[in-house]
Structure 1
Amino acid sequence: MSKPVFLVTGADLAADALALLGRYDVVYAGVKPTEADLVALCRRHDPVAMIVRYGAVNAAVMDAAPALRVISKHGSGTDTIDKSAAAARGIQVVAAAGANAAAVAEHALALLLACAKSVVAMNARMHAGHWDKATHKSVELEGRTVGLVGLGAIGLRFARMADAMGMRVLGFDPYAKDLPAHVQPVDLATIWRESDAISLHCPLTDDNRGLLNAQTLAACRPGVIIVNTARGGLIDEAALLAALRSGQVGSAGLDSFAVEPMTAPHPFHGEPRITLSPHIGGVTADAYVKMGVGAARNALAVLNG
């Protein structure tokens, strides 16, 4: 008799995670699974669990897998899973929250420093044979204020690093409790008004889509640095580009985008004050193992009651 199936919406899974799934067959959907791919695989294998790495899992996918009991995110963001459809079908949605917190927080700090210190621009100038010591001035972060939107595992780890650099840390998160002393809880209006840099660490919801838009960016301090390692839908990209070109936003470090993968040409391409990375904040060798193990354990916990 064949084993029940775990469907992984990706091309691989960490060996440590696979070791936990010995009682199951593991089927891979590949690196860029479409809805049609997932529906076909669900019809063929009728999985009891899915581990979601890439692609979206909607009602059509769920309906193709009547045995499906749990959808487990390989990471923390579940916005690519239709949670309402899952709830209506009695399917639990779980996430490996915190598994990639160190990786993402470090990447957010790297983007903040790249923006403040003009790392990318100076590197290009040096490789072109220039020496701009007499004319360039970077931003010193000590004594500056950073505003964090989202104070989960990633946001709090970033806050600790910012505090260690001597920054004042403001934070907004209506669900956060028992915050450390170095994080000052404030409302969003205060984040916009008082922050020299803003870093986004919250999930994407219908309520906060376009959180940074023409109105909120105009309420920020002139020259503010924007960092986003969360979800691209949190930012109105056209409004951000306009604010960068006007000087209202000094620079931006972006790891996530409204449409992924980003296709060329894109309005951000060639903008000298935007530092881009392809949503790899959580992609490290260590985080890959942590997220895989977390996703497998979370799914097994549901299956085992």
Structure 2
Amino acid sequence: IEEQLKANLKILNEELIEKIEDHQDFMGDLSFFLFKVHKIETEISCADIKKYFDNYKDTIDRIRKKYIEEKPILINYLRLLLIMNNCNEVGHIRRASWEFEGVLFSLINNRNHLNTEDFKELCSLDNNERILIDFCKNKIFGKAENDEIFKLDEFSTEKFIKGWLILKVVNAENENVCLAFYDGNETGVSAYVDKNSNRLITTEDFSWGNSICGFGVRSGFGSGNYVHYTNNDFWLNPKIIDTPFSEIAFDKKNRTKEQIKKNNEKISELIEIIYNRHELSKNDTEKKVYNDIGSLNLR
């Protein structure tokens, strides 16, 4: 049936089908655009195919080309949706220390998204920026709630990095900026496996406000293996991933408990945006966790 549909589509709209087959991700294979065939054995129209392809170009291709001028917020949420679907997975970085793990946020170096239900559904929507953003938000925030991403009493680098990126994307939306297209030297957004090594002030307990993600540096690209953070010129810039959200001084010797408190308050506001404005359900225990997160020490 699939091969027959392909042949019929080429007869109906040869130019469109050739454009799709020439795309680097499909290399002559239309299977992705015919995913409905695997669910219901029926014809698929050229109008549907065009919708899928237009959405594909406006999502994956937009990320690949770093074309952000028109739709920076959409680009942020699209990159995050791919992470939340494990298209790139948090884990050990090749030729890097086992003391930290990371994930590529801006680089698409596989076709894993083609097999995710979320992405298939995304490509079937009307090509409208607001619709695409809202779809991404609902999927991302729903996964965050189900996986208790912001509840780090049982710490893992996966939860920490995903939570950090969610907060960064929501903050970037508030500031109307696109997060920088940067993945280190293909090491990705990184954090230490030992949660206390991610603290901004080492004498204070680990919390969201007293922590930071950076980018991994592996042997052969500098002096050893470690997680690197941005320099003073970009510190506290909302476009930058590896910097705190507010208040924290760049020089370690100038950091204070009061700055940590302010940073926690900022993060608490961002989490409230996620769980209140988007009306995700929470039970009473979860409400207390998220409402108290500004002062919560996550041991």
TM-score, with structure 2 as normaliser: 0.24
TM-score, with structure 1 as normaliser: 0.24
Q: Which has the higher helix share?
A: 2
Q: Which has the higher strand share?
A: 1
